[in-house]
Amino acid sequence: MHSRTEPERDGAAAIRRPPLIRELLLVAGLFLVYKFGRQLANGHTAEAFHNAHRVWHWERSLHLPGESDVQSVLLHGDTLVRAANTYYVAVHFTATVIFLAWLYLRRPEHYLWARRILALLTGAALALHLTFPLAPPRMLDVAHLVDTGQAYGPTVYGAKPAADSMANQFAAMPSLHFGWALMVAIGLIAATRSRWRWLWLLHPLLTLVVIVGTANHYWLDAVVAAVLLCIALNMVHAPSPTSRGTTGAVPRPVPAPRRVGPTRADGPGLVGAGR
Protein backbone atom coordinates (compact mmCIF):
# COMPACT_ATOMS: atom_id res chain seq x y z
CA MET A 1 0.00 0.00 0.00
CA HIS A 2 1.32 3.40 -1.00
CA SER A 3 1.32 6.31 1.42
CA ARG A 4 2.85 9.76 1.74
CA THR A 5 3.50 12.07 4.68
CA GLU A 6 2.49 15.64 5.43
CA PRO A 7 2.83 17.80 8.56
CA GLU A 8 0.28 17.21 11.28
CA ARG A 9 -1.41 20.59 11.70
CA ASP A 10 -4.27 19.87 14.04
CA GLY A 11 -2.65 19.79 17.46
CA ALA A 12 0.59 17.84 17.33
CA ALA A 13 2.59 21.02 17.94
CA ALA A 14 0.47 21.83 20.99
CA ILE A 15 0.94 18.29 22.33
CA ARG A 16 4.73 18.55 22.14
CA ARG A 17 4.77 22.08 23.54
CA PRO A 18 4.87 22.03 27.38
CA PRO A 19 2.02 23.77 29.25
CA LEU A 20 2.55 27.53 29.27
CA ILE A 21 1.53 28.14 32.90
CA ARG A 22 3.85 25.41 34.12
CA GLU A 23 6.74 26.84 32.15
CA LEU A 24 6.12 30.38 33.36
CA LEU A 25 6.03 29.21 36.97
CA LEU A 26 9.13 27.07 36.49
CA VAL A 27 11.20 29.83 34.87
CA ALA A 28 10.02 32.41 37.41
CA GLY A 29 10.81 30.03 40.27
CA LEU A 30 14.31 29.34 38.97
CA PHE A 31 14.93 33.06 38.55
CA LEU A 32 13.79 33.84 42.10
CA VAL A 33 15.92 31.04 43.55
CA TYR A 34 18.91 32.45 41.69
CA LYS A 35 18.24 36.05 42.76
CA PHE A 36 17.76 35.16 46.42
CA GLY A 37 20.66 32.71 46.33
CA ARG A 38 23.03 35.40 45.13
CA GLN A 39 22.16 37.51 48.15
CA LEU A 40 23.75 34.84 50.35
CA ALA A 41 27.14 35.90 49.03
CA ASN A 42 26.67 39.47 50.27
CA GLY A 43 28.82 40.55 53.18
CA HIS A 44 31.94 38.65 52.07
CA THR A 45 33.73 41.89 51.20
CA ALA A 46 37.22 40.94 52.28
CA GLU A 47 37.08 37.58 50.52
CA ALA A 48 35.64 39.16 47.37
CA PHE A 49 38.51 41.66 47.11
CA HIS A 50 41.08 39.00 47.92
CA ASN A 51 39.74 36.88 45.08
CA ALA A 52 39.70 39.94 42.80
CA HIS A 53 43.45 40.43 43.29
CA ARG A 54 43.99 36.74 42.58
CA VAL A 55 42.00 36.89 39.33
CA TRP A 56 43.80 40.06 38.27
CA HIS A 57 47.13 38.32 38.89
CA TRP A 58 46.03 35.21 36.96
CA GLU A 59 45.07 37.33 33.96
CA ARG A 60 48.44 39.09 33.95
CA SER A 61 50.20 35.71 34.27
CA LEU A 62 48.25 34.46 31.25
CA HIS A 63 49.13 37.65 29.35
CA LEU A 64 45.48 38.43 28.67
CA PRO A 65 44.79 41.91 27.30
CA GLY A 66 44.00 44.50 29.91
CA GLU A 67 40.35 45.41 30.50
CA SER A 68 41.48 49.02 30.23
CA ASP A 69 42.23 48.52 26.52
CA VAL A 70 38.53 47.93 25.83
CA GLN A 71 37.34 50.62 28.21
CA SER A 72 39.55 53.26 26.61
CA VAL A 73 37.66 52.74 23.34
CA LEU A 74 34.27 53.18 25.00
CA LEU A 75 35.39 56.31 26.82
CA HIS A 76 36.08 58.14 23.57
CA GLY A 77 32.51 59.44 23.63
CA ASP A 78 29.72 59.84 26.16
CA THR A 79 27.17 58.42 23.72
CA LEU A 80 29.19 55.25 23.18
CA VAL A 81 29.77 54.53 26.85
CA ARG A 82 26.11 55.22 27.71
CA ALA A 83 25.06 52.86 24.93
CA ALA A 84 27.32 50.18 26.42
CA ASN A 85 25.84 50.75 29.88
CA THR A 86 22.32 50.54 28.44
CA TYR A 87 23.18 47.31 26.64
CA TYR A 88 24.51 45.86 29.88
CA VAL A 89 21.40 46.87 31.82
CA ALA A 90 18.65 46.16 29.30
CA VAL A 91 19.65 43.50 26.76
CA HIS A 92 20.87 40.66 29.00
CA PHE A 93 17.54 39.57 30.47
CA THR A 94 15.30 40.89 27.69
CA ALA A 95 17.10 39.04 24.89
CA THR A 96 17.03 35.78 26.85
CA VAL A 97 13.30 36.05 27.53
CA ILE A 98 12.54 36.81 23.87
CA PHE A 99 14.76 33.88 22.84
CA LEU A 100 12.91 31.43 25.10
CA ALA A 101 9.50 32.79 24.07
CA TRP A 102 10.30 32.39 20.37
CA LEU A 103 11.57 28.86 20.86
CA TYR A 104 8.49 27.97 22.91
CA LEU A 105 6.16 29.16 20.15
CA ARG A 106 8.11 28.04 17.08
CA ARG A 107 10.59 25.34 18.14
CA PRO A 108 9.20 23.45 21.18
CA GLU A 109 11.86 20.75 21.12
CA HIS A 110 14.65 23.32 21.02
CA TYR A 111 12.89 25.27 23.78
CA LEU A 112 13.09 22.34 26.21
CA TRP A 113 16.72 21.80 25.32
CA ALA A 114 17.64 25.49 25.76
CA ARG A 115 15.69 25.85 29.00
CA ARG A 116 17.49 22.88 30.52
CA ILE A 117 20.87 24.21 29.41
CA LEU A 118 20.18 27.66 30.88
CA ALA A 119 18.97 26.12 34.14
CA LEU A 120 22.15 24.05 34.48
CA LEU A 121 24.35 27.00 33.60
CA THR A 122 22.59 29.31 36.05
CA GLY A 123 22.69 26.72 38.84
CA ALA A 124 26.42 26.18 38.34
CA ALA A 125 26.95 29.94 38.31
CA LEU A 126 25.07 30.33 41.58
CA ALA A 127 27.23 27.67 43.21
CA LEU A 128 30.37 29.45 42.08
CA HIS A 129 29.05 32.83 43.22
CA LEU A 130 28.55 31.41 46.70
CA THR A 131 31.90 29.63 46.91
CA PHE A 132 34.01 32.24 45.11
CA PRO A 133 32.71 35.77 45.79
CA LEU A 134 34.50 38.18 43.47
CA ALA A 135 34.60 41.96 43.34
CA PRO A 136 34.35 43.26 39.74
CA PRO A 137 37.29 45.12 38.18
CA ARG A 138 35.54 48.50 38.56
CA MET A 139 36.06 48.13 42.32
CA LEU A 140 39.69 47.06 42.13
CA ASP A 141 42.11 49.94 42.75
CA VAL A 142 45.02 48.23 41.01
CA ALA A 143 42.97 47.99 37.80
CA HIS A 144 42.54 51.79 37.51
CA LEU A 145 39.21 51.41 35.72
CA VAL A 146 36.21 53.73 35.61
CA ASP A 147 32.86 52.60 37.00
CA THR A 148 31.05 53.65 33.84
CA GLY A 149 27.62 52.90 35.30
CA GLN A 150 28.08 55.34 38.17
CA ALA A 151 29.94 57.90 36.08
CA TYR A 152 27.72 58.01 32.99
CA GLY A 153 24.63 55.88 33.70
CA PRO A 154 22.46 53.95 33.53
CA THR A 155 23.30 51.34 36.16
CA VAL A 156 21.51 48.67 38.15
CA TYR A 157 24.00 48.76 41.01
CA GLY A 158 24.06 50.92 44.09
CA ALA A 159 27.01 53.21 44.79
CA LYS A 160 27.82 51.23 47.95
CA PRO A 161 27.96 47.45 47.42
CA ALA A 162 27.44 46.65 51.08
CA ALA A 163 24.15 48.57 51.11
CA ASP A 164 22.91 47.29 47.73
CA SER A 165 19.81 45.20 48.42
CA MET A 166 18.86 44.80 44.75
CA ALA A 167 21.93 42.99 43.45
CA ASN A 168 24.97 41.11 44.67
CA GLN A 169 27.92 43.02 43.27
CA PHE A 170 30.36 40.35 44.40
CA ALA A 171 29.03 37.75 41.93
CA ALA A 172 31.30 38.57 39.00
CA MET A 173 32.45 35.04 38.16
CA PRO A 174 31.13 33.56 36.00
CA SER A 175 29.51 36.21 33.84
CA LEU A 176 25.95 35.13 33.14
CA HIS A 177 25.66 38.13 30.83
CA PHE A 178 28.14 36.36 28.55
CA GLY A 179 26.99 32.81 29.28
CA TRP A 180 23.35 33.54 28.49
CA ALA A 181 24.27 35.56 25.40
CA LEU A 182 26.40 32.70 24.08
CA MET A 183 23.57 30.23 24.67
CA VAL A 184 21.12 32.51 22.86
CA ALA A 185 23.42 32.54 19.83
CA ILE A 186 24.02 28.77 19.93
CA GLY A 187 20.31 28.09 20.38
CA LEU A 188 19.28 30.27 17.45
CA ILE A 189 21.95 28.79 15.22
CA ALA A 190 20.75 25.28 16.11
CA ALA A 191 17.06 26.10 15.65
CA THR A 192 17.17 27.96 12.33
CA ARG A 193 18.27 27.24 8.79
CA SER A 194 19.17 30.64 7.40
CA ARG A 195 22.67 30.95 6.02
CA TRP A 196 22.88 34.21 7.99
CA ARG A 197 22.22 32.50 11.32
CA TRP A 198 25.92 32.59 12.27
CA LEU A 199 25.58 36.35 12.67
CA TRP A 200 23.88 35.61 16.00
CA LEU A 201 27.40 35.15 17.36
CA LEU A 202 27.68 38.93 17.24
CA HIS A 203 25.43 39.03 20.31
CA PRO A 204 27.89 37.28 22.68
CA LEU A 205 30.79 39.10 21.03
CA LEU A 206 29.18 42.49 21.67
CA THR A 207 28.21 41.38 25.16
CA LEU A 208 31.85 40.46 25.87
CA VAL A 209 33.01 43.91 24.78
CA VAL A 210 30.35 45.55 26.95
CA ILE A 211 30.92 43.59 30.15
CA VAL A 212 34.68 44.11 29.97
CA GLY A 213 34.57 47.71 28.73
CA THR A 214 32.18 48.79 31.48
CA ALA A 215 34.49 47.12 34.05
CA ASN A 216 31.73 44.87 35.35
CA HIS A 217 33.62 41.66 34.52
CA TYR A 218 37.08 40.27 33.96
CA TRP A 219 38.04 38.34 30.85
CA LEU A 220 38.19 35.20 32.98
CA ASP A 221 34.55 35.66 34.03
CA ALA A 222 33.56 35.10 30.39
CA VAL A 223 36.00 32.21 29.98
CA VAL A 224 34.57 30.39 33.00
CA ALA A 225 31.01 31.01 31.75
CA ALA A 226 31.91 29.50 28.38
CA VAL A 227 33.44 26.44 30.04
CA LEU A 228 30.37 25.89 32.22
CA LEU A 229 28.14 26.25 29.15
CA CYS A 230 30.18 23.65 27.26
CA ILE A 231 29.75 21.24 30.17
CA ALA A 232 25.98 21.86 30.24
CA LEU A 233 25.74 21.36 26.47
CA ASN A 234 27.41 17.98 26.83
CA MET A 235 25.05 16.95 29.62
CA VAL A 236 21.78 17.63 27.78
CA HIS A 237 20.80 15.74 24.64
CA ALA A 238 20.48 18.15 21.73
CA PRO A 239 17.47 18.06 19.36
CA SER A 240 17.97 16.19 16.12
CA PRO A 241 19.00 18.29 13.11
CA THR A 242 15.84 17.20 11.28
CA SER A 243 13.71 19.10 13.81
CA ARG A 244 15.37 22.40 12.95
CA GLY A 245 13.08 24.75 11.11
CA THR A 246 9.91 22.90 12.09
CA THR A 247 7.22 23.95 14.53
CA GLY A 248 7.11 20.75 16.49
CA ALA A 249 4.79 19.00 14.03
CA VAL A 250 5.13 15.29 13.43
CA PRO A 251 4.43 13.54 10.12
CA ARG A 252 1.40 11.32 9.73
CA PRO A 253 0.74 8.75 7.04
CA VAL A 254 -1.84 9.73 4.45
CA PRO A 255 -3.53 6.95 2.46
CA ALA A 256 -3.09 6.99 -1.27
CA PRO A 257 -6.18 8.11 -3.25
CA ARG A 258 -8.70 5.35 -3.92
CA ARG A 259 -8.90 4.19 -7.50
CA VAL A 260 -12.13 4.82 -9.31
CA GLY A 261 -13.09 2.57 -12.22
CA PRO A 262 -11.10 -0.19 -13.87
CA THR A 263 -7.45 0.20 -14.76
CA ARG A 264 -5.07 -1.68 -16.99
CA ALA A 265 -3.79 -3.59 -13.96
CA ASP A 266 -7.24 -5.15 -13.46
CA GLY A 267 -6.80 -7.29 -16.56
CA PRO A 268 -8.95 -7.78 -19.61
CA GLY A 269 -11.24 -10.26 -17.91
CA LEU A 270 -12.52 -7.73 -15.36
CA VAL A 271 -12.84 -5.02 -17.93
CA GLY A 272 -14.91 -7.22 -20.16
CA ALA A 273 -17.09 -8.52 -17.35
CA GLY A 274 -19.29 -5.51 -17.42
CA ARG A 275 -20.13 -5.82 -21.09
Q: For residue range 101-137, list pLDDT tens digits in order.
A: 999 999 999 999 999 999 999 999 999 988 999 999 9
Residue 5 pLDDT exceeds 70 = no
Residue 186 pLDDT exceeds 60 = yes
Which carries the bigger pLDDT value, residue 204 or residue 159? 204
pLDDT confidence of residue 29? 82
pLDDT digits (tens, 9 = 90+) for 29-58: 887 877 776 666 666 789 999 999 999 999
The model's confidence at residue 226, banded by pLDDT at 50, 70 and 90, is: very high
Which carries the bigger pLDDT value, residue 182 or residue 273? 182
Tell me the percentage of the chain whose pLDDT exceeds 70.
Answer: 76
Residue 66 pLDDT exceeds 50 = yes
Boundaries of every domain in the chain: 3-254
pLDDT confidence of residue 32? 81
The model's confidence at residue 240, banded by pLDDT at 50, 70 and 90, is: confident
Residue 263 pLDDT exceeds 70 = no
Listing DSSP states for the chain in one string gives --EEEEE--SSHHHHHSPPHHHHHHHHHHHHHHHHHHHHTTTT-HHHHHHHHHHHHHHHHHTTPPPHHHHHHHHTT-HHHHHHHHHHHHHHHHHHHHHHHHHHHHH-HHHHHHHHHHHHHHHHHHHHHHHHS-B--GGG-GGGT---HHHHHS--SS-SSGGG-SS--TTB-SS-HHHHHHHHHHHHHHHH---TTGGGGGHHHHHHHHHHHHTTSS-HHHHHHHHHHHHHHHHHSPPPPGGGTTS-S--EEEEEPPPP-S--GGGHHHHHHTT-
Residue 262 pLDDT exceeds 80 = no
pLDDT confidence of residue 13? 46
The model's confidence at residue 138, banded by pLDDT at 50, 70 and 90, is: very high
The pTM is what?
Answer: 0.81
Which carries the bigger pLDDT value, residue 259 or residue 39? 39
